[in-house]
Structure 1
Amino acid sequence: MEEKKGVAAMAKAVYLHIPFCEHICYYCDFNKVFLKNQPVDDYLDALEREIILSLEQYPTDTIETIFIGGGTPTALNEAQMKRLMDMVARHLLPLASPNLEYSVEANPNFVSAEKLDTMKQGGVNRVSFGVQTFDDGGLERIGRTHRADDVFATVTEAAKRFDNISIDLMFGLPEQTLEQIERDLDLAFELPIQHVSSYSLILEPHTVFAIQERKGKLRLPGEDIEVAMYLKVMETLERRGLKQYEISNYSLEGRESRHNQVYWRNEEYYGFGAGAHSYLNGERRANIAPIPHYIKAEGLPVRNTTTLETVEKMEEELFLGLRMRQGVSFATFESKYGVSMRSVFGHVLTELEAKRLIETTDTHVRLTESGLPLANEAFAAFIGEARVNDTHGQASHS
């Protein structure tokens, strides 16, 4: 079975990975290293080479979003941050659309007024701060080095330059209570912010927390408490004017993260940097992760490439798109794949509707309110379940 033919999609989103941190948090499994004694300037050289090569091999006519993440991009010193901004200005901003969204992740205690100025002058118009919690004891327990006072000072300083500011909060942390979640939310609304991302703690392999869990030394809230925390976050943020537009994301109208929506809509994007992932020409690519090997790479520093079958793209369309509160458009699905969603996944949709995990409108399928805390069950239901008749190149009807 083949997708509906048309003009090849061009990637219009860019992710740049800065893998350096001043400190490694106990829950983090992203590709990152301690900043001290790292070859940062050599890394920036390699990053620029990759950008140039990738744009030559996979050109685009417009870039609509840029996101610099990590690691901790603001762990770079002022000169390195200026160099990074200049690199983006040289190679990416000439392709930028007039309404470019340009975001940088920031740590509340590693971003000076000078760095904020450099970012602003470089074209950045959105900053995302990794707050996690306002409870100083909780911050210490998860290995964060900033404290609540740092958050208020830094976000207030950033608001003098930017009118699109997001913070990350976490729930389900060690020894965290529902009352602390309520306090975190109250304090969040004392900040000049337009967006909140709220994530539950996930125990990833090879992290400090995973080791503590195996030793029985990690005291986490129970599953029922964690669900109550999620519902409290959702209800409070909605009531106070931040609309939920994705399972973990809330914003004022028009301040949704356009970059992240590229991922959820299963659209193509560039990923530059050690360990970064790209989705180009229907292929998912993972870059070399170890920094020394990334720096020495000849040509594009790609470690592996996966060419997706059409049925895999269809499955991704559903389990990524259902993260968004508006859900997945029937018309968009049919436009992309040349078959109706119900002809491919009708049996799954019927099953999930019966469980009241999803609901359908005339135009979309989406998670129900009661389905939000059980989203992973709904997502998993689509894996390996596309019903396609390979002989005739058409999806079979359920």
Structure 2
Amino acid sequence: MVRGVYIHIPFCHQICNYCDFNKFFFQNQPVDEYIESLGKEMALWKEQLQDAQIETIFIGGGTPTSLSELQLERLLTLIHQHIPMNHVVEFTSEANPDELTLEKMQVMRKFGVNRLSMGVQTFDQDLLKVLGRTHSNEHVYKVIENAKKIDFPSISIDLMYGLPNQTMEQWKYSLQEAFRLKIPHISSYSLLVEPKTVFYNLMSKGKLSLPGEDLEAEMYGYLMDEMKKQGYSQYEISNYSHEGKQSKHNLIYWDNDEYFGFGAGAHGYVNNTRYSNHGPLKKYMQTIDQGEKPLVMQKEVTFTEKMEEEMFLGLRKNAGVSLKRFENRYGQTLTEAYGKEMEELIQKEFIVIENEFVKLTRRGRFLGNEVFQYFLR
């Protein structure tokens, strides 16, 4: 059963130095036409959408809040027109702090958006400039104030560590500022330098100074400890929340369940097939105008690949992988499928079996990618 919908808005008023998502500088782009194409794409999936039980919708980017109020209203109208809303419990939009006005928030609330995911990344003004971000801390405080003023049900921010020349003191300060906001969810990731980014080009030229592995590990350890002290539960390698405020949409990914992906460069997983859309706007929109889904790749997931994904996605969650669910899904026990790997990982104290779940130990969380490799054949 398909449970989620992801919708991609690929426009940005500023391109960040670390971002490798499909995105385009806003100026002179066919933004209104793109929004109409999104509606047409959703219509092409009408039959599958009607058969699904959609629980979550996530508008990501790029920057959804780069849209004007009218454009945002048109997008949300099309979403309601094409996506069955009767089972939706979580409706998220990503946001930039310097673009999310009170008026845009009110439009979102009018159409049922009940969760904001805001890209803060750091509260250090110098590091914000290094990242290519244009907002200030005052923008963040104002957005949170406005969101609380109109009773926005859930708010999350993203923070990054392992940034160029970032010190432990800068990291501690960012966390302290985040805790002052008293919001129910925080996502925190280490910087990954991806190809086709400004940071990648700088690194290739030896001009990007990053913290070493030891300092990055210290930052992660401090993050986990402080989150716990502040009353946040870690429910996934990079995500922390108050009770009942976990990201239900992202849990669909980590539960290895299916979801639609709409928009230029979006990815989806439907009917046992992973797919991706054309990234270039012209190609994406032309294909839709011809009455065809804008698919550039489709791959049916094999039985073995499904088991692999069950493991490396499920182990990201603190709850881990359910032994019972694995056996029900794949007709064999976890020990039958991965006995040798499990034994070795238990010996290394990277995983543990507790209450019928296999989960990462604290040590395993520091070396998650190494653990996941054990389940890839």
In the alignment, what sits opposite 1:48? 39
Question: Contact 1:105–1:130 (CA<8 Å) still a contact in 2?
Answer: yes
In the alignment, what sits opposite 2:350? 357
Q: Percent identity?
A: 49
Please give the secondary structure, in 2, of the residue aligned with 1:365: strand
TM alignment of 1:133-172, pairs within 5 A:
133-161=122-150, 162-172=152-162
Deviations 1:39-75 (A, max 9, x none): 0111111111111111324542421000000000000
CA distance in 2 between counterparts of 1:115 and 1:90 reads 20
In the alignment, what sits opposite 1:19? 10
Count residues with an aligned counterpart: 373
One-letter identity of the residue aligned with 1:207? T
CA distance in 2 between counterparts of 1:382 and 1:129 reads 33
In the alignment, what sits opposite 1:284? 274
CA distance in 1 between counterparts of 2:337 and 2:112 reads 44
The match for 2:303 among 310, 315, 338 is: 310
1:217 CA drift (Å): 1.0
CA distance in 1 between counterparts of 2:46 and 2:344 reads 44
In the alignment, what sits opposite 1:218? 208
CA distance in 2 between counterparts of 1:192 and 1:229 reads 21
In the alignment, what sits opposite 1:255? 245
In the alignment, what sits opposite 2:81? 90
| Residues 1:176 and 2:166 are matched in the alignment | yes
The match for 1:236 among 226, 242, 255 is: 226
Q: Please, what is the CA RMSD of the aligned residues?
A: 1.0
One-letter identity of the residue aligned with 1:17? H
TM-score by length of 1: 0.92
Listed as ranges, the gaps of 5+ residues in structure 2 are none
CA distance in 2 between counterparts of 1:57 and 1:253 reads 33
Deviations 1:215-272 (A, max 9, x none): 1111111110000001111110111011000000000000000000000010000000
In the alignment, what sits opposite 1:335? 328
Structure 1 stretches of at least 4 aligned residues deviating more than 6 Å after TM superposition = none
CA distance in 1 between counterparts of 2:235 and 2:27 reads 39
The match for 2:57 among 51, 66, 80 is: 66
Question: Contact 1:287–1:301 (CA<8 Å) still a contact in 2?
Answer: yes
CA distance in 2 between counterparts of 1:285 and 1:296 reads 18
CA distance in 1 between counterparts of 2:281 and 2:267 reads 15
Please give the secondary structure, in 1, of the residue aligned with 2:16: coil
The match for 2:265 among 254, 259, 275 is: 275
One-letter identity of the residue aligned with 1:31? N
CA distance in 1 between counterparts of 2:71 and 2:182 reads 28
More helix by share: 2
Please give the secondary structure, in 2, of the residue aligned with 1:206: coil
1:95 CA drift (Å): 3.5
